[in-house]
Structure 1
Amino acid sequence: MPLPPALRSLIRSTPTIAPVPHRAVISVTGSQAAEFLNGVVASSVPSSPDAHFYTAFLQAQGRVLHDAFMHSYATPEGKKGYLLEFDSRPSEAQPLLTMLKRFVLRAKVKIRDVSEQYDVWAAWGSENEQAWETERQWDYSRSGAVEPVWNDQIPWGVSSGPLQDRRGVGMGARVLARKGDRPQGYSSYDAVSSDDYVRHRILHGVAEGSTDMNPTQAFPMDSNLDFMGALDFRKGCYVGQELTVRTYHTGIVRKRIFPVLLQGQGSSPLMLPLASGTDIRLRNVVTTSEAAFRPRPRGTGKLLTSIDGVGLALLRLEHVFAAETGHSQFYIDGPASSSSEDSSVCITTWRPDWWPDVRLVTE
């Protein structure tokens, strides 16, 4: 189903800029910077050194460590390099700076933490951020993996302009600014809070960072990194390639992250915060004659990021199929201390308009 009508008023369509919380920045420079990165990231590094891109770092077992933006830039000496922007919150994953330095070996690269120099902002809602968007085209695999087909050669933009955030249609631009400064060229934009940015990406169905992609646990296709443009299934060797490519060719994608509406009693949006990792359960609402439609009761979903009655959740596709066809319903158990007969939270999924036709596994 598309965005529920009750949530359309939450979409900000005027020029807006917001700080992006919990971000760190690493500088990767040197004559072999692109070659070095191409061996450790899950997407192909663009042939043009001026091109920005979006990617992911995986562990050897094919699970996600970090999703990251690569901002192409030039050093004060005029040398080309990348500013790697990623989630800075502590997790079970090895710190990214430490991991990258471990892979350097004899490569001619210089890696350093420059987080104290930059703030990260998101901008959206103006004609500038809408100009590069075109109707998405998709390449589908038998496994259920989905890739965007870019008709332009540099979909994420170049160093002379902002990084075009094409993880989802309408996401806008990603901007790096000097620490403490507002980005230049955005003085006429409405400045909003980081919570507004989180709500913005949830409404557009875009997962981000360690809360949505549990480091060392999440699989890249489960986290929608394939149709957000962070994976290349045809490039040469990189860390985590073997399992990722094997899943693409011979496996089945059984889970995805979906945007969800959280409703309490009376069908009103639930404004109280819910903890990340909260279990989402499934109850069947079919009659005995329709028992064949019931999904097998295995596992639960997980609520990831949530704010003001909307969120992102990792769900089994067979359960989503049952819910979308009206045979089951997602819910979260209410507090045990509640005196209400039914204090559970109702969970409703939707699919953003830009999404591909996600295969719903029912076997």
Structure 2
Amino acid sequence: MTRHLRSDRTLFRFSGPDAHTLLEDVLTGPFKPDATEAAWWALLSPQGKIQAEGLAVWRYEAWWLDVSTSVAENFFKRMRMYKLRAKAEIEDLSESHRVGWSSEPCEGSVPDNRGGGLGHHVLIAAENTEGWDTGEAYHEHRASIGIAELGPDFEADSTFPHDIAMDLLGGIDFAKGCYVGQEVVSRMKHRGTARRRPVLVSGIAEGTAAGTSVAAGGRDAGAIGTVHGGKAVGILRLDRISDASAAEIDGKPASLALPDWADYRFGESAPTE
């Protein structure tokens, strides 16, 4: 069993009688206390761009949410602003707890069902992580099945939820009421205007930086995230990829493939609004 410590994530706990309502009204994801899996969610700008994303777990009468450490301070600030007079407490647990990943069930774990086969999301006290792996196991596995994350693969305020397939992988609750950015997300769903989607990119030279462009048929199709073992998640324009075998990165051939869970295809062109 591989247990990987995710030092790039910061954990927050939301508690109190209004905590559930706060999360439902502000974030995209489903917040179901009886859920047996970690739920994906995002905090959006009013323009519908992702400012933070992570997984949510209901435990000990509170919600536990993790975010990329790179946006943790901004997430904390914004959620306190949205809280207003709500009876909810928001605690930064960066000193006491850690976020991890395990290939199999272990202490403090729940299934992470994004894309299927992603393993188990772990929340655990900091003192219980001695000896945990701090390498690239989690990110290598994530990149191999096409799950993009803020931090390694894209920056805040640059990407719509549809671009990373949150609409396909349970990160958006389309049945609930309004939340920040909901109008943009709903319009993209109903008009089918999502052009960019996660693509598996392999055969990448080591040392290639995140953000490097992918060319398809001589046209810029998008960019890759952080490279792990020669693989990365690319957030690419499907309509610009008519021949997946003709892709290049820095003038060198690269291989493109779609995740097993994808319901989209290369060459698709979204309608023009």
The answer, yes or no, to whether TM exceeds 0.5 is yes
* Counterpart Cα distance in 1 of 2:71 and 2:22: 25
Residue 87 (structure 2) pairs with residue 108 (structure 1): yes
Q: What CA distance in whole angstroms lies between the structure 1 residues aligned with 2:133 and 2:252?
A: 29
Tell me the equivalent position of 1:293. Answer: none
Asked if the contact 1:317–1:362 (Cα under 8 Å) also holds between the matched residues in 2, the reply is: yes
Matches within 5 A, 1:114-193: 114-124=93-103, 126=104, 128=105, 162-182=109-129, 192-193=133-134
Displaced runs of 4+ in structure 1, greater than 4 A?
Answer: 49-52
Separation of aligned partners in 2, 1:203 and 1:90: 25
Equivalent residue, structure 2, for 1:82: 63
Give the TM-score taking structure 1 as reference length. 0.68
Structure 2, gaps ≥5 residues long: none
Q: Which residue identity lines up with residue 351 of structure 1 in the other structure? A: L
Give the alignment partner of residue 240 of structure 2, picking from 319, 325, 330: 319
Per the alignment, residue 166 of structure 2 pairs with 225
Q: 1:226 to 1:47 in 2, by over 3 A?
A: same
Instruction: Report the residue type matching 2:262 in the other structure.
Output: P
| Equivalent AA in structure 1 for residue 76 of structure 2 | L
The answer as to whether partners of 1:207 and 1:257 remain within 8 angstroms in 2 is yes
Distance (whole Å) between structure 1 residues aligned to residue 68 and residue 183 of structure 2: 25
Q: Which residue of 2 aligns with 1:331?
A: 248
Q: d(CA) in 2 for partners of 1:106 and 1:48?
A: 27
1:352 counterpart = 2:259: yes
Structure 1: runs of 5+ lacking an equivalent: 1-14, 75-79, 130-159, 264-269, 285-296, 334-343
Equivalent in the alignment of 1:307: 228
Shift, 1:352, TM fit? 3.3
Percent identity over paired residues: 27
In 2, distance between residues paired with 1:274 and 1:211? Answer: 13
Whichever of the two has the greater Rg, that structure is: 1
Report the alpha carbon displacement of residue 48 of structure 1 after superposing the two structures with TM: 3.6
How many residues are aligned here?
A: 269
* Matched residue, 1:9: none
Closer, same or farther: CA 49–303 of 1 in aligned 2, 3 Å: closer
| Aligned residue identity for 2:164 | S
Q: How many Å separate the matches in 2 of 1:229 and 1:315? A: 20
Q: Per-residue displacement from partner, 1:162-211 (whole Å, max 9, x unpaired)?
A: 2210002211111111114239xxx9xxx544312110111121112223
* Further displaced range: 204-213 or 32-41: 204-213
Which among 5, 30, 36 is matched to residue 16 of structure 2? 30
Q: What CA RMSD, in Å, does the superposition of the two structures yield over aligned residues? A: 2.4
- C-alpha distance in 2 between matches for 1:262 and 1:115: 36
Q: Which residue of 2 aligns with 1:143?
A: none
Return closer, same or farther for 1:95/1:276 CA change in 2, 3 Å cut-off: same
CA contact (8 A) 1:19 1:120 kept: yes
Cα 1:282–1:39, aligned 2, differ >3 Å: closer, same or farther? same
